[in-house]
Structure 1
């Protein structure tokens, strides 16, 4: 109902008439009576009434054809009585004429919606037209790129959505987990369903898609209602971008019509965010699974695991005795202590078995792993401070003496035998590395003295 009509309902208040020359002019009782005459008696009676009251013809030929073709009569008293009886039986009809709350719940945005109310930065604007100007991209290219780059949400309010390429992009976004909300004009919904059936959509495509229909404001008359249309055309991307303009998502609109779109980002997006949620709340559900006879995919519900009970123990003020284990009281009463005991949801086991698993293994019981290359291990050995045996030290001295004489070229046979014996016993190599520091220094000094004598003799 118009605001002027609501003002007339108040007692003792009759607002002054607003002339047509003023911008505040909106409602005219003369035009309402002329519309009723048009619907009941036709175009001739409509024009005669305006002529008798010195009014101007305010409807074009196209509007007259649309109004007479879409007018909906109110249900008769018989139909109304049958509907009332069924509603009274079900108990869904409110007892008051002006209910405090709506009969239906507000539909939730159940598949996700980005948080709003935060500052989104400075508003930035880009304008695109068809045909393109100044080497700018086509408006359909801009639209498809926004959908393909989306990662949080895609929300569309459109009068006509029949473009196959755009529909494929929306269903591909749905398959990769992006929530897609579509609010269509009630008269354009059948055309949308026809194009979806041509694409042969399945449960994977429709899993993250929610579709609803909404009607225009319309005009209520005494004999019926003239419905209205939705001409809002915009698309929200990820809660931080919005595209709006005259472009409808159809093939003819992108190829043959002249259109203009504006892509905006920044704080202005909050206005479109609120407007979309309001339209979504007053819209009617369009269940695509039911229309195309597709079974809904089963989504597993995550149930919270039951918190395990604490082990029974003798408690005191400062300490808790769990059998052989004593635990401080502040740790026992901490919920994190359940994880330390291994009492998490799943297969349970006794406390002592868990504590036995936590003990480090005994190194004497387990054999040490054999090295892959024993030669490298011997080279990397470090000196041990324990004193070696005397036999090993003498053997090392004879080995050093034999090598010296072998270097001089004397007694080759004895030197060769000594070298072969030393190579046959790998324990001798180990003994070289296990010599104490004092003896290694003595052997180095003797070698230096021997080298000095050789140089003097030469």
Structure 2
């Protein structure tokens, strides 16, 4: 139903008529009446009605031929040869057409089940490249650009097209699907039979169709009181890996790439999100085209991933914030997290609990060690250098540094203090190796002499 008709139903308001001279002009009630006259009585009655109302003829001869040939009349129960028993019961209870007005579709939305790259992330600055047919100087033709994009894809290929009959492009799509790249195709309903015909010529099989999903979509059309005028899908674009898009007037057919004048634009960047959302909307309202059923091919069995049996948690006194596991108290948010099973030693799968594994582990028996002469090996082991000697060397360095500063009288006082600190801990094992006072003084004198001799030699 047109928007103007909906406005007329709300509170009895009649929207003001928009003249044809304004850009906002879109719907006209006179045009709707004239179309119904064209369908029911023919072209002569259509033109006479326009003449009587002083209205201009708004349809070309080609449009008149297309509308009259594609018009679909509403089906009634008489045309169907009578309704089923279940439908008769529903008819007796009253028609649901006047009471059932859903705001949204109540049918299941088809999922992108073979994969779709994540969207919503920043894709960078928009970059644009334009190609034409015939090609400009030093630029490839449009079919080469399209095939190169398909062959270089690695994440996903999504196509919205009115006509897809080019054998080379179809072969590229099936080759990409063999590599595991998801391929989604949304076709115009009137172009679907031609697509199926070309696929049959390629003799596609289970391997080619495994990662391909094909659906059909209709145009907006126009609903009249006597029937419906269907529309077509003229959107022509291709999404590559979620970060590139190719769109334009080029249809994926041999004649379009050879004989027609076309222009395509390849863009990357943030603008791709618009085409990403538009494709998912078209995919959601489209109808399924099962290629396995059309070509009588057995659909491969897609095995579901079986989850390992998770063992039950130990019974425990739980509260809102804490769980008591005997002597152990665990926060409730960790206890209810499946990852906490690893901490309890209850690993999902075929492995046994961690506690049983630890109980089976036994320490090695020293009597079973294959040693020929363990006592000789212990005797031959040389003791490592004791760490207290390192401490003594550090303290000697402190003595030498302290003697350089100050006067001679102060040197002796500092050295006495350091030596007293060394001998102050008799319980320490390093006290056995400490130096006496005379030995330290002799060592200091020898070091002073050696320094003076080296100083004179340098001079």
| Cα contact 2:77–2:83 (8 A) shared by 1 | no
Q: Is structure 2 residue 312 aligned with structure 1 residue 306?
A: no
Root mean square deviation, CA, Å: 3.2
Cα-to-partner distance string for 1:357-409 (whole Å, 9 max, x where unaligned): 675697965699xxxxxxxxxxxxxxx779xxxxxxxxxxxxxxxxxxxxxxx
| Cα contact 2:159–2:238 (8 A) shared by 1 | yes
Q: Is structure 2 residue 76 aligned with structure 1 residue 76?
A: yes
Cα-to-partner distance string for 1:329-372 (whole Å, 9 max, x where unaligned): xxxx9533566x8x65227599777655675697965699xxxx
Cα-to-partner distance string for 1:167-196 (whole Å, 9 max, x where unaligned): 111111111111111110000000001111
Once residues 212 and 328 of structure 2 are traced to their aligned partners in structure 1, the CA distance between those partners, rounded to angstroms, is: 58
Q: Is structure 2 residue 8 aligned with structure 1 residue 8?
A: yes
Higher mean Cα deviation, 32-41 or 286-295?
32-41
Superposition pairs of residues 57-456 of structure 1, within 5 angstroms: 57-79=57-79, 82-83=82-83, 86-87=86-87, 96-308=99-311, 317=327, 335-337=341-343, 345-346=349-350
Shift of 1:86: 4.4
Once residues 135 and 365 of structure 2 are traced to their aligned partners in structure 1, the CA distance between those partners, rounded to angstroms, is: 76
Pair 1:351–1:367, CA change in 2 (3 A): farther
| Cα contact 1:129–1:259 (8 A) shared by 2 | yes
| Cα contact 1:155–1:181 (8 A) shared by 2 | yes
Gaps (5+ residues) in structure 2?
Answer: 316-324, 330-338, 373-379, 383-459
Alignment-derived partner of residue 50 in structure 2: 50
Higher mean Cα deviation, 154-163 or 36-45?
36-45
Shift of 1:77: 4.4
Q: Give the secondary-structure state (helix, strand or coil) at the position aligned to 1:187.
A: helix
Once residues 371 and 301 of structure 2 are traced to their aligned partners in structure 1, the CA distance between those partners, rounded to angstroms, is: 53
Once residues 14 and 334 of structure 1 are traced to their aligned partners in structure 2, the CA distance between those partners, rounded to angstroms, is: 66
Pair 1:349–1:317, CA change in 2 (3 A): closer
| Cα contact 2:185–2:213 (8 A) shared by 1 | yes
Gaps (5+ residues) in structure 1?
Answer: 320-332, 369-383, 387-458
Q: Give the secondary-structure state (helix, strand or coil) at the position aligned to 1:112.
A: coil
Pair 1:127–1:355, CA change in 2 (3 A): same
| Cα contact 1:156–1:234 (8 A) shared by 2 | yes
